[in-house]
């Protein structure tokens, strides 16, 4: 699957401190020690609707990880999937009278357009579930050889009891896991399962639903094994950072890790699990199922500068849950105007201090509110350096992904 095109990232003098991120699995803020290359997997969209600000906040957050690694001189291998066959997509296609493939293609292209407008660096490998079916079948076959698959009415399940470390990512008790599995696409009440939490690996063909002819029989993959297989194929295990929204910690990342650990025999799936908070609107988490969405596409169509959208997202710490209001966008637009005036001024305060402050803030668990405050302070000051505006504009572009030149 084709990714989107990349805006060039400026190189700036100096280097950032080592990146520290909160790890969901260990419940602590700790350094990320990336390999060569640094490896990042961020779970992608199920393309049945437009990009809302909750999506955008997550991908902007992990874009900062990519940027701080690059600023430190690391080569980065970034992988993102697209779940281009799944129940929500098929249900939306039926409800709207569209071909599911056409719907997936259209919404994936809309997502690419939104990401490029927001200056999110593209993944090196942008991989759809459909194109990964041979690799997914291989993963499930390997699990069968390890005795970690069982059949139920033609469907194939993974027994979570095969992984002694199951539950170590999200750190939830069984009642909480069962409740979330029910809410988030699982089937804990299905009769005949060995454990209510066992995830579906392969769904046997259903009438009038897409399926593929494979050595596992006709059918299609489950959700969790998709990301496990793609991550293992394109990054290898273990990789450095597994990223996504906090609603993915369980069941998705928990299941991905369990499947991956059993299949590889390695006690680690990812070295660091990082989760972005939820964005709300009208008193609830922004979600397609509820319909309380603020769409990036709609804001862009209304003439909103994408850099103002990005600044509105960066004004909140990535791990916090917060609620979008029109005031977020107003404040971001005003900030963008102030910064652009400051970098365009004939002279300004020296850039050294603000660039250092930017690097320190972002390297400290992506503390963007502190980073934005540092640029605010610089933009409000007076100085005599004719090069400072250009230097700050390049640093803001490289580190925050905000273009101040237009």
* Residue 125, pLDDT score: 98
Half-sphere exposure of 238 (CA within 13 A, CB side): 18
* Contact in structure between 294 and 262 (CB atoms under 8 Å): no
The closest of 302, 301, 300, 310 to 339, measured between CA atoms, is 310
> Using one digit for the tens of pLDDT, what is the confidence trace for 74-126?
999 999 999 999 999 999 999 999 999 999 999 999 999 999 999 999 999 99
- Confidence band of 293 (pLDDT split at 50, 70, 90): confident
* Residue 292, pLDDT score: 77
The closest of 125, 157, 151 to 222, measured between CA atoms, is 157
- Confidence band of 50 (pLDDT split at 50, 70, 90): confident
The span from the CA of 191 to the CA of 343, in Å, is 64
> Using one digit for the tens of pLDDT, what is the confidence trace for 18-32?
999 999 999 999 999
367 in helix, strand or coil? coil
The span from the CA of 161 to the CA of 151, in Å, is 15
The span from the CA of 169 to the CA of 182, in Å, is 18
* Residue 134, pLDDT score: 98
Nearest 5 degrees, angle CA 71-CA 74-CA 75?
120
Q: Is the pLDDT of residue 61 over 90?
A: yes
214 in helix, strand or coil? coil
CA 42 to chain centre: 4
The closest of 49, 34, 45 to 120, measured between CA atoms, is 45
């Amino acid at each position: 699957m084709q990714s989107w095109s990349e805006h060039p990232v400026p190189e700036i003098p100096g280097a950032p401190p080592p990146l520290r991120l909160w790890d969901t699995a260990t419940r602590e803020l700790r350094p990320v020690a990336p390999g060569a290359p640094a490896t990042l997997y961020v779970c992608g969209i199920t393309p049945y609707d437009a990009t809302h600000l909750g999506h955008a906040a997550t991908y902007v957050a992990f874009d900062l990880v990519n940027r701080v690694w690059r600023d430190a001189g690391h080569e980065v291998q970034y992988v993102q999937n697209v779940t281009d066959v799944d129940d929500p997509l098929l249900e939306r296609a039926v409800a709207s009278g569209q071909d599911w493939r056409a719907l997936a293609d259209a919404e994936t292209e809309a997502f690419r357009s939104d990401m490029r407008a927001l200056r999110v660096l593209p993944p090196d490998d942008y991989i759809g579930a459909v194109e990964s079916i041979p690799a997914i079948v291989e993963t499930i076959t390997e699990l069968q050889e390890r005795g970690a698959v069982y059949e139920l009415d033609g469907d194939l399940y993974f027994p979570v009891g095969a992984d002694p470390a199951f539950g170590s990512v999200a750190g939830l008790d069984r009642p909480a896991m069962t409740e979330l599995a029910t809410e988030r696409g699982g089937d804990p009440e299905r009769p005949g399962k060995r454990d209510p939490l066992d995830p579906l690996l392969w769904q046997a063909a259903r009438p009038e639903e897409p399926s593929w002819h494979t050595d596992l029989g006709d059918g299609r993959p489950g959700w969790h094994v998709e990301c496990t297989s793609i991550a293992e194929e394109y990054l290898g295990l273990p990789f450095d950072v597994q990223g996504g929204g906090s609603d993915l910690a369980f069941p998705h990342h928990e299941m991905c890790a369990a499947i991956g650990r059993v299949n590889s025999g390695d006690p680690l799936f990812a070295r660091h699990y990082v989760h972005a908070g939820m964005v709300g609107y009208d008193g609830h988490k922004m979600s397609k199922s509820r319909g309380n969405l603020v769409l990036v596409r709609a804001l862009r169509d209304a003439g909103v500068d994408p850099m103002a959208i990005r600044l509105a997202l960066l004004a909140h710490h990535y791990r916090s849950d917060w609620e979008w209001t029109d005031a977020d966008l107003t404040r971001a637009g005003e900030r963008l105007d102030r910064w652009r005036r400051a970098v365009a001024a004939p002279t300004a305060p020296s850039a050294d201090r603000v660039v250092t402050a930017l690097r320190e803030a972002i390297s400290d668990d992506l503390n963007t509110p502190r980073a934005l405050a540092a640029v605010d302070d610089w933009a409000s000051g007076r100085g005599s350096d004719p090069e400072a505006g250009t230097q700050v504009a390049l640093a803001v572009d490289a580190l925050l992904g905000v273009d101040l030149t237009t």
